[in-house]
Structure 1
Amino acid sequence: MTTTTETTSTRKMSLPTLTAMVVGSMVGAGVFSLPRNFAQATGVFGAIVAWAIAGTGMLMLAFVFQTLAVRRPKLDAGVYAYAKAGFGEFPGFLSAFGYWASACVGNVSYWVLIKSTLGLVFPAFGEGDTLLAVAVSIVAVWAFHLMIVRGVKEAAFINQIVTVAKLVPILMFIVILAVSFEAGVFGDNFWGGGDRDYSAGDIFEQVRATMLVTVFVFLGVEGASVYSRYARRRTDVGRATVLGFLSVLAIFASVTLLSYGVLPRAELDGLRQPSMAGVLESVVGGWGSTFIAIGLIISVLGAYLAWTLMAAEVLYVAARDDDMPAFLKRDNAHGSPTSALVMTSALITAVLVVTLLSEDAFTFTLELCSALSLVPYLLAAGYALKIAVADRNDPSPPRRLGRETVIAAVAVVYTLFLIFAAGLEYLLLSCIIYAPGATLFVLTRREQNKRPFSPPELTLLVLIVAGAVLGLIGLISGWITI
């Protein structure tokens, strides 16, 4: 019989494994759509500005998670735990629920892109949102579910292998485009091409249009933080976060900028997703599209695995801390949070059905996923700023405390800018998801014989419900579309 100590030890993850979880979480569907998504919004200069802003902002968030992992080592499941510790039980619940919902919606975008890729060979899959595509995706969702319930450790090991495998075609894409780079094409694309006004205001709007895309591709920067309870050493959590982020930033920026040196912006804008396939095909011929398609499927399945694990982990830990209904505490002999995984797969299935009503399923799920993640990120950054200010009398070197304060402040400003960039439409759509989720909070409080909401929490709930009602009115009247 295995002892408790032995069981705990075998579940611990090393620094390379944690780093692979971060890279595996971020390198998914988003990278394969970057050439077209950026070309639709801006040229080379706007892309450079966008990556500079996104890179700086997300690096600050990465540093925030690194700092919190060291400063508050007893807090597990990162994003949720930080929000609760900093701002109370209901905001903490909203962070956990929003993070989980964001992961589920993001996973739907993966299936949409896979079926859209297969649609190049099997027209019945269309753009990934046909009835057949959705039906096949639902079957795949539950097949993955059965695999994951065999154990978190086993699934994490599979993800580490997949992370290495999926990086090969992406890195080859970068190398081939670097060799084929044409300075003239790049120069013509620098300001975007065409007769446009390139004032500061115009550049700002171009950059703003790319923000939800950059958020989507960087989702997962907190991956190691979510798995903090599995780390062999607590310091590995922060190191894995920063190492994973810097590696992925270099990949994303290279894919975007090198594509501007191969095709005119107008042609990039007109490519079918996954646009990386069209870019490589223009350089090496038909096999390039097939090569990228295979890489995409491997990449997306790996990212789906990582995100499903993280989503279920957040629900499980929240339930274990009595901040979600007790049924979500259930796990099996393999240590997998079974009830949380069932709830996760169920929401993914429901959103897949909704994509049948969407005009552009991939863009819709991408942007909604990004919008849902902003509240958890804002609360985590806010908590980091709060403890940096509160710890000003800490015996730590003043220079370190000052650095932590600046980092947290920049992360807060960045996430607020992202909420502004997302726009009212996606804020209201997020409320439609958050509002019914509050019933889980009420159920949890009743299980504990506690009052559901304090006066400030009730005010927050009213605002969320009002936003949900306004969002539903917008969908019915047609001024909000999916």
Structure 2
Amino acid sequence: MASTPQKLSKMQLTGMVVGGMVGAGIFSLPRTFADATGPLGALIAWLIAGTGMYMLARVFQTLAERKPELDAGVFAYARAGFGDYPGFLSAFGYWISSCIGNVSYWVLIKSTLGAFFPVFGDGNTVVAIVVASIGIWLFHYMILKGVQQAAFINSIVTVAKIIPILVFILILLFGFRMDLFQANLYGGGLEGNIFEQVRATMLVTVFVFIGIEGASVYSRYAKKRSDVGQSTIFGFIVVTSLMVLVTMLPYAVLERVDIAAMRQPSMSAVLEAVVGHWGAVFVSIGLLISVLGAYLAWSLICAEVLFSAARTEDMPAIFGKENVNKTPANALWLTNVVVQLLVISTYFSRDAFALMLNLTSAMSLIPYLLVALFGCMNANRGDGYDLRADERRRDLIMAAIAVIYTAFMIFAGGLKFILLAAVLYAPGTALYFWARREQSKNVFIISDWFIFTVIVIGAIIGIYALVTGRITI
């Protein structure tokens, strides 16, 4: 007999947000930022990213309240606002970016172990890939046991992984040296102006904020609809505070050039430089817990997005089926097959973690942009504003800022990742063809053909650039 529908509390939904956001990215922030800028540039970058992502979080909160019938989160808004094919592209882009993000977790886990066991190298050796593959399928079978069980485990892991981050922050606060901080302020030794330095950090800030929509994706499981928006905002505030402190404090205990030369995960290396080897061990343990927890959260989200898209006929129906534990089993199988293939591909990458980080960010920005645009449209039309109609103007302004932010992030990422995204979107459209034929519907309308043609052209250019070496991975 099938299980009764499972419901998540506000705390569990908040755990999905924090668990999704606090993963691989936060442990790599010191070196990633120090390689690009000093404290001033880092502060500007976080102000831009924090403002933009806060506005995006408010868009998710507003849409959760004003459009409660759209309970699949990210892609549902794109479909409602722009049509079936853009809705599919949003779902596919968000799903594949989540899969790529999951690969980055395994790379960082093995890179962390590589500091103690050289056989793992930088996370892309044969041994590292074999161990990661075992981990992928162990998580797969655990999640098949049920969303509620996995969400409970995620809540415990979320608490456990915050502790090493807090210890790191406290130790660096006690070791704070104003003279070092001032010497690093303008990124001493770096070429390029502040704008160029800030731009170099933009995709990183997107990567560490991915997961902000975790509660929205799982809105159909919420005990109370209002919990979705509240969990999103609370999770955003907690994680943003942690990320800013983790980025800024190393500049007050070490030279920027020394931080930039550290091995990833650089938070571990920073603490080792301050307190000794036990610091590296302590943070590495915290990282392993953190990343495994984030992987669990994102495995759930990957399967849920594919499942929800299938239930609304944007993906083939086979991915809309649940097992007896109410877990979208077929969606989970496809997700982990893709993750497995991507893990194998890291063997051929020079810097697998950086590639996966940047590509994850680039792929997720298009779904985010469509959500922000839909937020603008909805506030402008006044849908769902029968109550508190005076909030329309405020919501429209916040959504407009979110649109500007996400569009700027796509620009800041550069042409390389737009072309790589097209290389993934073009073949991914085969799933849309499958779904439309399955439903005996016309595949495209005129505007869809235009979008598809642009994607195919971008994919051809991207493949040519990869083959000729103009784009390297």
> What is the TM-score with the length of structure 2 in the denominator?
0.98
Q: Distance in 2 between matches of 1:179 and 1:464?
A: 52
1:292 is aligned to 2:287? no
1:440 is aligned to 2:431? yes
Q: 1:342 to 1:115 in 2, by over 3 A?
A: same
- Residues 49-89 of structure 1, C-alpha deviations (whole Å, 9 max, x = no match): 00000000000000000000001001112101101001000
**Equivalence map 1:127-146=2 (5 Å):** 127-146=122-141
Given that 1:392 and 1:401 are in contact with CA atoms closer than 8 Å, whether structure 2 keeps it comes out as no
SS of aligned partner of 2:112: helix
- Residues 333-360 of structure 1, C-alpha deviations (whole Å, 9 max, x = no match): 1011110000000110111111111110
Q: Distance in 2 between matches of 1:363 and 1:456?
A: 35
1:404 is aligned to 2:395? yes
1:329 is displaced (CA, Å) by: 1.4
SS of aligned partner of 1:260: helix
Query: Paired residue for 1:475?
Result: 466
1:149 is displaced (CA, Å) by: 0.4
**Equivalence map 1:183-202=2 (5 Å):** 183-194=178-189, 196=191, 202=193
1:27 is aligned to 2:30? no
Query: Paired residue for 1:428?
Result: 419
Q: 1:124 to 1:456 in 2, by over 3 A?
A: same
SS of aligned partner of 1:333: coil
RMSD: 1.2
Q: Distance in 2 between matches of 1:38 and 1:172?
A: 21
1:195 is displaced (CA, Å) by: 6.9
SS of aligned partner of 2:68: coil
Query: Paired residue for 1:93?
Result: 88
1:57 is aligned to 2:48? no
1:13 is aligned to 2:8? yes
Q: Distance in 2 between matches of 1:329 and 1:55?
A: 35
1:460 is aligned to 2:451? yes
- Residues 297-343 of structure 1, C-alpha deviations (whole Å, 9 max, x = no match): 00000000000100100110111111110110121110111100000
Given that 2:66 and 2:385 are in contact with CA atoms closer than 8 Å, whether structure 1 keeps it comes out as no
In structure 2, which of residues 374, 382, 395 is the aligned counterpart of residue 383 of structure 1?
Answer: 374
Q: Distance in 1 between matches of 2:420 and 2:469?
A: 13
Query: Paired residue for 1:371?
Result: 362
Query: Paired residue for 2:314?
Result: 323
Q: 1:474 to 1:27 in 2, by over 3 A?
A: same
1:193 is displaced (CA, Å) by: 1.0
Counterpart AA for 2:466: L
Query: Paired residue for 1:222?
Result: 213
Counterpart AA for 1:186: F
In structure 2, which of residues 158, 161, 170 is the aligned counterpart of residue 163 of structure 1?
Answer: 158
Given that 2:19 and 2:297 are in contact with CA atoms closer than 8 Å, whether structure 1 keeps it comes out as yes
Given that 1:431 and 1:464 are in contact with CA atoms closer than 8 Å, whether structure 2 keeps it comes out as yes
In structure 1, which of residues 83, 102, 105 is the aligned counterpart of residue 100 of structure 2?
Answer: 105
Query: Paired residue for 1:211?
Result: 202
Bigger Cα displacement from structure 2, 85-94 vs 389-398: 389-398
Q: Distance in 2 between matches of 1:265 and 1:171?
A: 22
Bigger Cα displacement from structure 2, 242-251 vs 71-80: 71-80
Q: 1:187 to 1:90 in 2, by over 3 A?
A: same
1:196 is displaced (CA, Å) by: 4.7
1:139 is displaced (CA, Å) by: 1.4
1:399 is displaced (CA, Å) by: 3.9
1:176 is displaced (CA, Å) by: 0.5
Given that 1:41 and 1:209 are in contact with CA atoms closer than 8 Å, whether structure 2 keeps it comes out as yes
Query: Paired residue for 1:38?
Result: 33
Counterpart AA for 1:347: V
Q: 1:16 to 1:398 in 2, by over 3 A?
A: same
Q: Distance in 2 between matches of 1:33 and 1:362?
A: 10
Q: Distance in 2 between matches of 1:181 and 1:361?
A: 33
Counterpart AA for 1:138: S
1:333 is aligned to 2:324? yes
Query: Paired residue for 1:250?
Result: 241
Gaps of 5+ in 2: none
Given that 2:111 and 2:120 are in contact with CA atoms closer than 8 Å, whether structure 1 keeps it comes out as yes
Query: Paired residue for 2:260?
Result: 269
1:395 is displaced (CA, Å) by: 4.6
Counterpart AA for 2:223: R
Q: Distance in 1 between matches of 2:358 and 2:165?
A: 23
SS of aligned partner of 1:370: helix
Counterpart AA for 1:149: L
Counterpart AA for 2:112: T
Q: Distance in 2 between matches of 1:94 and 1:143?
A: 30
Q: Distance in 1 between matches of 2:190 and 2:174?
A: 30
> What is the TM-score with the length of structure 1 in the denominator?
0.97
Bigger Cα displacement from structure 2, 245-254 vs 394-403: 394-403
Number of aligned residues: 473
Given that 2:37 and 2:190 are in contact with CA atoms closer than 8 Å, whether structure 1 keeps it comes out as no
1:131 is displaced (CA, Å) by: 1.3
Given that 1:98 and 1:372 are in contact with CA atoms closer than 8 Å, whether structure 2 keeps it comes out as yes
1:216 is displaced (CA, Å) by: 0.4
1:314 is aligned to 2:305? yes
Q: Distance in 2 between matches of 1:20 and 1:372?
A: 24
Q: Distance in 1 between matches of 2:458 and 2:338?
A: 21
